[in-house]
Amino acid sequence: MNRTDIESWYRGMQARFCAGIEAIDGSASFRSDLWEREGGGGGDTRILSDGDHIEKAAVNFSSVWGETPVELTESQTAGNAAFYATGVSIIVHPRNPHCPTFHANLRYFETDGGSSWFGGGVDLTPYYLYEEDARHFHSALREVCDAHDVADYGSWKQECDEYFRLPHRGEARGIGGLFFDHLSSRLDEVWVFQQQLGDRLLDAYLPILQRRIDVPYGESEVRWHEIRRGRYVEFNLLWDRGTRFGLETGGRTESILASLPPGARWEYDLEPPDDSAEAKLLEMLREAPRSWE
């Protein structure tokens, strides 16, 4: 396991995921935007826009290095003179409100102090609650974790539930998934796990898209979709560590903010009607995290 192998695999994962999303959309394709970072490194931001089924998707690879910025808040990188980071991040915003938004990030860090570690996460943000979709998603993640001694589905699900919350709203962002960081021991085994997790992401998400992509919807569902996308924007701009890390290390702003949806709205003090599908979603987001097994 070395930087070159890790970067190569991340690039391959980017290509495979893009191909899977293009196939399910059927009309649009990703465009590649290569960029360089002042100070060292760069990346490949791939964007799909205005597809028949996918309104926006971003699948980004980056490999950056250089002097550690003094304002960097990443706990294990701060205090070191130089850092190296590589990874792939994915965000998919479908057009149909009945299709959930998908997010994943897999990453690897090194410092000149000799420390290195893996991190990552994957989560799902529905706008209408389909419990069978939630069970499918979490079952796929548990299967990968259960196959590896270095993985801990129960603990990482809890971390994800705690991380992807909007504390100022008292709401979860979605149904969670996995969140893990600073895995610094048994790195070769962790790397094998991370590759297998990356290979399963399409299996975890695409069947859900295929089930919901043609569900009929109207203006009221679009309005609700945009309102809930507003919550997604709030989390990414106020709380997301990846957004903060990218900005603090001089990353490319367009690539960092590519995770934002193409359209969102904010309406004052909105509460959906009791017993509506929208109210059912909110009830779930405001209660204690569920087990989806």
Question: Domain 3-286 adopts which CATH fold?
Answer: oxygen-dependent coproporphyrinogen oxidase (3.40.1500)
For residue 243, pLDDT over 90 is answered with no
- 91 near 173, Cβ under 8 Å? no
For residue 32, pLDDT over 90 is answered with yes
Mean pLDDT of 235-249: 84
Which residues on neighbouring strands pair with residue 41, listed in sequence order? 64
Q: Residue 283 has what DSSP assignment?
A: H
pTM: 0.93
CA distances from 221 to 95, 96, 110, 212 (A): 11, 9, 45, 14
3 state DSSP class of 187: helix
Residue type, 70: V
Mean pLDDT of 199-215: 96
* Domain coordinates in residue numbering, the chain: 3-286
Residues designated as active site: 103
Q: What angle do CA 176, 180, 185 make, to 5 degrees?
A: 160
CA distance 152 to 135: 18
pLDDT at 70: 62
CA distance 153 to 155: 6
pLDDT at 80: 66
Residue 48 phi, psi dihedral angles, 5° rounding: -115, 130
CA distance 243 to 55: 21
For residue 235, pLDDT over 90 is answered with yes
Q: What stretches of 54-152 show up as alpha helix (H) in DSSP?
A: 131-146
Rounded to the nearest angstrom, the gap between the alpha carbon of residue 3 and the centroid of all alpha carbons in its chain is 22
3 state DSSP class of 244: helix
Q: Residue 129 has what DSSP assignment?
A: -
Q: Residue 69 has what DSSP assignment?
A: P
pLDDT at 285: 96
- Higher per-residue pLDDT: 29 or 241: 29
DSSP 3-state percent helix, strand, coil across the chain (nearest 5): 40, 25, 35
Residue type, 125: T
Average pLDDT score, the chain: 92
Q: Residue 280 has what DSSP assignment?
A: H
Quick one: pLDDT band at residue 65, thresholds 50, 70, 90?
A: confident
Which helix (H) or strand (E) segment is 277 a member of? helix 277-286
- 58 near 18, Cβ under 8 Å? no
pLDDT at 71: 58
CA distance 164 to 127: 15
